[in-house]
């Protein structure tokens, strides 16, 4: 047990950054160019017209025009029925409908689907994913995540977090995970993957990853994508493949508790699949995919049934069109 504590502590000490460490964008771009890397930004969207314009403008101005850190900015849209795609294109992003990418495959809907298809559509050696609903967007959301990959070859997957678990005014704050993190993910990781508990915000939607890792892992298309990434990258490459960067504050709309229930249900499915595959939990039967929630209408309580099937896409390397486009083989 002491070994794990020590390992987590060492990992946190060595692999946890603050975005301000990478303020020198000129130096960062020079290093990127020296390493011959290309970087793509993927903004997965579904009805994000309020925030998408600002995100595209900030990233294009600061990280394409001013400091050429990004080689492409792409919006991968799930079929918004608002102005998301028009606004993003108007401000200079490449806009794709997820359904138009790999059209030969069966169509599926979900954020994870967009992230997975980005691997095929985008060209970068590194893909950085940033949610499109962030209202206090800033270039740090990208450079803070790609910098550890540029400076350290052994790092493969960089995750964002948004609060500093540091002592402040003599008292210690808990690290700032969300509700699902604290009551589901952290207890599960503590039980089965204790080393992953060093990751401060395992569910944050912002991360930068090397292509050679992305193409080798499964993508749940719904709520479980972040959890599956952590477990799959950890089991393939170990804890040292991860780094995490403090991006200070992230302002977005809070989800209602009921939506968190759906999220937790999807994540649990993803987790249990892996627990079975890794032989961590034996004798687990196939699970139910109906989430039952209750609601009150006057004095009558009724059940609401929601079917949540956490489907998964296979590693992209298994898709023939991808192997042809990027000249890859299964070996």
Partner 1 sequence: MEQSFEDILGSLSGIRKTAQELREILLANLVMVGEIPAPTFGENDRMEFVLNRFKEASITKNSVDEVGNGIGILEGKENSGNILVVAHADTVFNTKVDHTIQIQPESVTGAGVADNSLGLAVLSTLPTFLEKLDIELNHNLILMGATRSLGRGDLEGLRFFLSNFEQPIKAGVGIEGVELGRLSHTSIGMKRGEITCRVPEEYDWSRFGDASAILTLNEVINHINEIRLPQRPRTSIVMGSIEGGSSFNTTALKAKLQFEIRSESSRMVQDIHQSMEEIVTEVASQSGDTIHLDIFAQREPGGVSFSHPLIRHTRRIMDQLDIAPRPGPSTSELSAFIDQDIPAITLGLTHGDNVHETNESIEIKPIYTGIAQIIGTLLAIDGGYCEED
Q: Using CB under 8 A, list all residues that contact partner 1.
A: 49-51, 53-54, 57-58, 60-62, 65-66, 83, 86-87, 90-92, 135-138, 251
Q: At closest approach, how far in Å is the CB of 285 from partner 1?
A: 48
CA angle 31, 32, 33 (to 5 degrees): 90
The token pair that represents 287 in the structure block: 């699970």
Q: Which of 51/244 has CB closer to partner 1?
A: 51
What is the per-residue DSSP string for 81-103?
Answer: SSSHHHHHHHTT-EEEEGGGSST
Q: Which of 72/125 has CB closer to partner 1?
A: 72
Q: At closest approach, how far in Å is the CB of 87 from partner 1?
A: 6
Q: Which of 10/136 has CB closer to partner 1?
A: 136
| Phi/psi at 269 (5° precision) | -60, -45
Q: Which of 60/109 has CB closer to partner 1?
A: 60
Residues 180, 44: Cα–Cα separation, whole Å:
21
Strand bridging mode 300-307 / 167-168: unpaired
Q: CB of 236 within 8 A of CB of 116?
A: no
Q: At closest approach, how far in Å is the CB of 53 from partner 1?
A: 4
Q: At closest approach, how far in Å is the CB of 151 from partner 1?
A: 22
Closest CA to 319 of 31, 143, 142, 102: 102
The token pair that represents 195 in the structure block: 């080393």
Q: Which of 41/267 has CB closer to partner 1?
A: 41
């Amino acid at each position: 047990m002491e070994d794990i504590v020590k390992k987590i502590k060492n990992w946190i000490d060595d692999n946890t950054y603050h975005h301000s460490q990478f303020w020198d964008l000129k130096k960062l771009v020079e290093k990127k160019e020296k390493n011959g890397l290309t970087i793509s930004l993927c903004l997965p969207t579904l009805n994000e017209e309020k925030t998408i314009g600002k995100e595209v403008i900030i990233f294009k101005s600061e990280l394409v025009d001013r400091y050429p850190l990004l080689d492409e900015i792409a919006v991968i849209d799930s079929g918004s029925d608002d102005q998301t795609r028009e606004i993003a294109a108007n401000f200079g992003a490449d806009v794709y409908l997820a359904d138009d990418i790999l059209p030969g495959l069966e169509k599926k809907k979900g954020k994870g689907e967009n992230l997975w298809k980005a691997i095929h559509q985008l060209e970068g050696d590194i893909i950085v994913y940033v949610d499109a609903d962030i209202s206090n967007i800033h270039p740090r959301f990208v450079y803070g995540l790609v910098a550890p990959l540029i400076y350290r070859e052994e790092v493969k997957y960089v995750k964002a977090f948004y609060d500093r678990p540091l002592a402040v005014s003599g008292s210690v704050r808990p690290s700032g995970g969300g509700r699902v993190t604290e009551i589901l993910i952290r207890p599960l990781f503590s039980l089965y993957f204790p080393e992953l508990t060093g990751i401060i915000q395992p569910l944050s939607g912002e991360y930068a990853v090397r292509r050679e890792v992305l193409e080798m892992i499964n993508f749940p298309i719904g709520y479980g994508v972040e959890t599956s990434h952590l477990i799959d990258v950890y089991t393939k490459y170990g804890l040292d493949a991860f780094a995490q960067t403090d991006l200070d504050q992230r302002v977005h709309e809070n989800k209602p508790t009921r939506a968190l229930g759906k999220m937790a249900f999807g994540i649990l499915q993803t987790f249990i699949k892996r627990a079975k595959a890794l032989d961590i939990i034996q004798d687990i039967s196939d699970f139910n995919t109906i989430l039952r929630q209750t609601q009150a209408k006057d004095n009558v309580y009724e059940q609401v049934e929601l079917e949540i099937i956490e489907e998964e896409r296979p590693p992209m390397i298994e898709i023939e069109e991808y192997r042809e486009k990027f000249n890859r083989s299964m070996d």
